[in-house]
Amino acid sequence: MDWGALHTILGGVNKHSTSIGKIWLTVLFIFRIMILVVAAERVWGDEQDDFICNTLQPGCKNVCYDHFFPISHIRLWALQLIFVSTPALLVAMHVAYRRHEKKRQFRKGDQKCEYKDIEEIRKQRFRIEGSLWWTYTSSIFFRLVFEAVFMYAFYFMYDGFRMPRLMKCNAWPCPNTVDCFVSRPTEKTVFTIFMIAVSSICILLNVAELCYLLTKFFLRRSKKTGNSKHHPNHENKEETKQNEMNELISDSCQNTVIGFSS
């Protein structure tokens, strides 16, 4: 179970996302997870080995390192990425539940069910409407909350986003005050700022997606109150035809977007 497995799980969610959601997912995987794995982990790899204190006192280096780095940046980023990816699973669960309900209807032989076989139910792409809209919107809201909380935790824990070269430590058993030198502080500052910047971009994308969904919802509502008095039956037939079209199309066009496949 590693980042590749998370990629597979979230790739399935991609199918039911809006366009902004798909862009968010791409930014997450390429500019955050990939950068973390191929670059940042190497930069922080020797963080404790090359944390040097100007003292011969045994145990002082360990204690000072622990005092200044309660949780390493790398672990915080890994936790942030996992928490931020997880709300998308709410959407996946909701879609799976809907599919389960439709399968049940199909098996019962319900005449209202418009599907020809189970394969079609499995491959259908659900539109973001009704209860799915609420699930999707709350997942975006939780993403925003988690991103903000982790950014604040970083800021609070490390007094800003800069990595100092020198730390003065006086925790026991260090004698008086001891100078401790951090390994690769400039490179670490650069990557911290990079990850913060991409985190902010992700927050903006989530806010944009939230606004888009709210706008769509209100427009749809105003269209419904306008049309419902004129053509109630015609709408139902159109929706059925649309659903059939959706199935046929989603059968053939599943993997068109950016290589993320279900």
Cβ proximity to another protein: between 177 and 252 the closer is 252
d(CA 13, CA 94): 11
Task: Compare residues 4 and 101 and give the one whose CB is closer to another protein.
Answer: 4
Least distance to another protein, CB of residue 147, Å: 19
The site string for another protein over 227-246 (x = CB under 8 A, - otherwise) reads ---------------x--xx
d(CA 94, CA 44): 38
- Region binding another protein by CB under 8 A among candidate stretches 48-56, 68-76, 112-120, 214-222: 48-56
Q: Contact between 213 and another protein (CB under 8 A)?
A: no
Binding status of residue 196 toward another protein by CB under 8 A: no
Kindly calculate the radius of gyration of the chain based on its CA atoms and give it in whole angstroms. 25
Helices (H), 109-230: 118-123, 131-157, 185-227
Contact map string, positions 53 to 92, toward another protein, x by CB under 8 A: xxx-------------------------------------
Q: Which stretch binds another protein (CB under 8 A): 45-53, 89-97, 198-206, 226-234?
A: 45-53
Is the sign of the CA dihedral 217, 220, 222, 228 positive or negative? negative
Angle at 20 between CA 248 and CA 93, to 5 degrees: 60
Which H or E element spans position 168? Answer: strand 166-169
Please state, in angstroms and rounded to a whole number, the distance separating the CA atoms of residues 213 and 218: 9
Please identify which residue in 95, 182, 205, 213 interacts with another protein, judged by CB under 8 A: 182
Instruction: Report which of 20, 15, 10, 13 is spatially closest to residue 213, judged by C-alpha positions.
Output: 20
Q: Which residues bind another protein (CB under 8 A)?
A: 3-4, 6-7, 19, 22-23, 26, 29-31, 33-35, 37-39, 42-43, 46, 50, 52-55, 165-166, 179-187, 190-191, 242, 245-246, 248-249, 251-253, 256-260
